[in-house]
Amino acid sequence: MSNTSFILRGDLCWSTSPDQVEAMRNGYLVSVDGVSRGVFQEVPEEYTHLPVADCAGKLIVPGLTDLHVHAPQYAFRGLGMDLELLEWLDTVTFPEEARYAGLDYARAAYRKFVEDLRRGPNTRACIFATLHTPATVLLMDLLEESGLITLVGKVNMDRGSPDNLREESADSSARETLAWLESSADRYTRTGAILTPRFIPSCTDELMTRLGELQREYRLPVQSHLSENAGEVAWVRELCPNSKFYGDAYDQFGLFGGDAPTIMAHCVLSGEAEQELMKVRGVYIAHCPASNMNLSSGVAPAGKYLREGQRIGLGSDIAGGTHGSIFRAMSDAIQASKLRWRLQDQSIKPLTTAEAFYMGTVGGGSFFGKVGSFEPGYELDAVILDDGRLSTPRELTLTQRLERTIYLSEDRDVVGKFVQGRRVF
Ligand code: GUN
Ligand code: FE
C-alpha cells in the first residue's frame, strides 16, 4: 500500500458543476494512489484496510488553483496601487523585476513567495518568473521542494521595456529559452515549464515566430496576458495593424490555444470575435478580479464566460492583485461581478458562490488534468481548514461554513494540505 492511499475524514465540500456544490458532514474521502475514489458516508468494505486521517470537525475542500501569478512581484504587493497598468509596469514592476538578475535577491524573495504559497490554500499554480534563466531555475527548485505542483515560465521580452529588463534580440531570447528548457528538463517531477511571452507589446514578431516553433517542437503550454487595459489594447492595435484583434496577434504565431494548451490572463476588454476564437481554441481565461480593480482596468465578464462554456479559472495576478489565496479571488470575483452588473451591464447576473468556488477549484484545476474536485478519478488535492475561529453561537450548515471560508478565511486557518495524495503538511 502506498502512502498516497488513505482515507480523510471530515466535513467535505466540492464542486460537481458550476452551479452545484456537494457537501457531506462527517464523510470519508478515499484516496488510492493519489486519486480520489469518491466521498462516502461510510467506508466501503473494499477500503476498510486503508489508514484513516481523522479531521473530524474540520472543513475539507479540493486544493485551489492560481491560474496566473507573478512570483517576482510578491515582494512589492500593495505598492504602486495608484497607477494604471502601463505606468505601473514602467515605474514599479520592471525596475523590481530587473533585480532578479542577482541570485541573492532572487533567492531571498522567491523563498518567501514559495513558503507563503505552500502554507496557503492553493495547491497548483501557473507562475511567471522573470526573463532571467538562473533565477527562474532557482524558483523552480524551490517550488519542487515545496511539494506543490506548478508550471513556471521564464519570461520572454525583447521590446517595450528598459535595457536592464529586455533581451538583446529575438534570437538571444529564443536561445536563452532553449537553454532554460534544457536545464530544467528531467530535473523535476512536480514542476513544469510553460512558455511565457510576457504580452504582445514585449515581444517582436520575430520572437513570437521563434516561440511558436519552440512551442510546437517541445509541445509546451503557453501563458500570457490579453485585453487587460484600454491603453494596452490600443498599443497592440498600433503594433499589429494586420491583426483583426489582440488575440489574433497571438494566433498568427500559433500561440492561441488549439494544440498549445494556453492561458490568457484578464480578458477584460475582449470583443465578441476574440471571445469566439478563445472558445473555438479552448483558451483558458485567468480571471484576476483584484488586479483588474487595483489597476483600474475594469471588470471582466466572468459570469458570461463561465455560462457560455469558456474555460475559466481564477488568478491572484500578484502584484496587480495583493493576496495569494484563491479564496480571496473567489470573493473578489463575486463582489466585482455585482458592481459590474449594477453599474455596467444588467444582462450578466452576478457570480454566485457556487460559480466562484467552481472557478477556483475545477475551473483552474482542469488546466492540470482531472484536478479540483473529489469526484472519483480526480487527483487528490485537498485542503484541510480549521474554521473554528469563525464559529458562531448558532449552528451553520456545511455550505454556509464554506461561504464564510470564502469570504473570511486566512492562510493560518489551513491546517493540512495534500497534493496528488502526498501530504505537504
Ligand atoms: N501585462 C504585461 N505584464 C504584466 C504584469 O506583470 N502584470 C499585469 N497585470 N499585466 C501585465
Ligand atoms: Fe499578470
**Given the DSSP bridges, would you call strands 6-17 and 20-32 parallel, antiparallel or unpaired?**
antiparallel
CB 227 less than 6 A from any atom of ligand 1: no
Q: What is the pTM of this model?
A: 0.98
CA-based nearest residue to 225, from 89, 87, 358, 118: 89
Task: For each of the domains in the chain, give its residue range(s) and CATH number, in order of start.
Answer: 6-62+373-423 (2.30.40.10), 64-368 (3.20.20.140)
**Given the DSSP bridges, would you call strands 222-226 and 35-40 parallel, antiparallel or unpaired?**
unpaired
CB 158 less than 6 A from any atom of ligand 1: no
- The answer to whether 289 and 309 are in contact (CB under 8 A) is no
- Pick the ligand that lies closest to the CA of residue 80: 1
The predicted pLDDT at position 18 comes to 98
Q: Output the CA 271–ligand 2 centroid distance in Å.
A: 20
The Cα–Cα gap between 103 and 135 comes to: 6
Give, for ligand 1, the residue of 67, 74, 85 to mutate: max count of ligand atoms closer than 8 Å to Cβ.
Answer: 85
- Pick the ligand that lies closest to the CA of residue 66: 2
Give, for ligand 1, the residue of 66, 128, 225 to mutate: max count of ligand atoms closer than 8 Å to Cβ.
Answer: 225
Write the DSSP string, 270-323. Answer: --HHHHHHHHHHTPEEEE-HHHHHHTT-----HHHHHHTT-EEEE---BTTB--
CB 77 less than 6 A from any atom of ligand 1: no
Ligand 1 atom showing the smallest separation from residue 297 Cα: 9
The predicted pLDDT at position 167 comes to 98
CA nearest ligand 1 atom 3, residue: 198
In the predicted model, residues of the chain with pLDDT beneath 70 are 1
Predicted confidence (pLDDT) per residue in 339-395, tens digit = 999 999 999 999 999 999 999 999 999 999 999 999 999 999 999 999 999 989 999
CA-based nearest residue to 84, from 228, 237, 225: 228
The Cα angle at residue 180 between residues 176 and 186, in degrees rounded to 5: 155
The Cα–Cα gap between 114 and 112 comes to: 6
CA nearest ligand 1 atom 7, residue: 320
The predicted pLDDT at position 350 comes to 98
- Pick the ligand that lies closest to the CA of residue 161: 1
Q: Output the CA 400–ligand 1 centroid distance in Å.
A: 35
108 CB-near residues (< 8 Å, 6+ apart): none
CB 93 less than 6 A from any atom of ligand 1: yes
Ligand 1 atom showing the smallest separation from residue 202 Cα: 2
Cell of 349: 447576473
The predicted pLDDT at position 385 comes to 98
CB 132 less than 6 A from any atom of ligand 1: no
The predicted pLDDT at position 242 comes to 96
CB 68 less than 6 A from any atom of ligand 1: no
Long-range pairs of 390-395 with CB within 8 A, sequence gap ≥ 24: none
CB 420 less than 6 A from any atom of ligand 1: no
CB 225 less than 6 A from any atom of ligand 1: yes
- The answer to whether 196 and 223 are in contact (CB under 8 A) is yes
**Beta carbons within 10 angstroms of residue 212's beta carbon:** 19
Q: Output the CA 423–ligand 2 centroid distance in Å.
A: 30
CB 199 less than 6 A from any atom of ligand 1: yes
CB 96 less than 6 A from any atom of ligand 1: no
Q: Output the CA 232–ligand 2 centroid distance in Å.
A: 13
CB 228 less than 6 A from any atom of ligand 1: yes
Element (H, E) at 218: helix 205-218
Strand blocks (E) in 102-145: 122-128
CA nearest ligand 1 atom 11, residue: 225
The predicted pLDDT at position 211 comes to 98
Q: Output the CA 64–ligand 2 centroid distance in Å.
A: 18
- Pick the ligand that lies closest to the CA of residue 286: 2
The Cα angle at residue 283 between residues 281 and 289, in degrees rounded to 5: 150
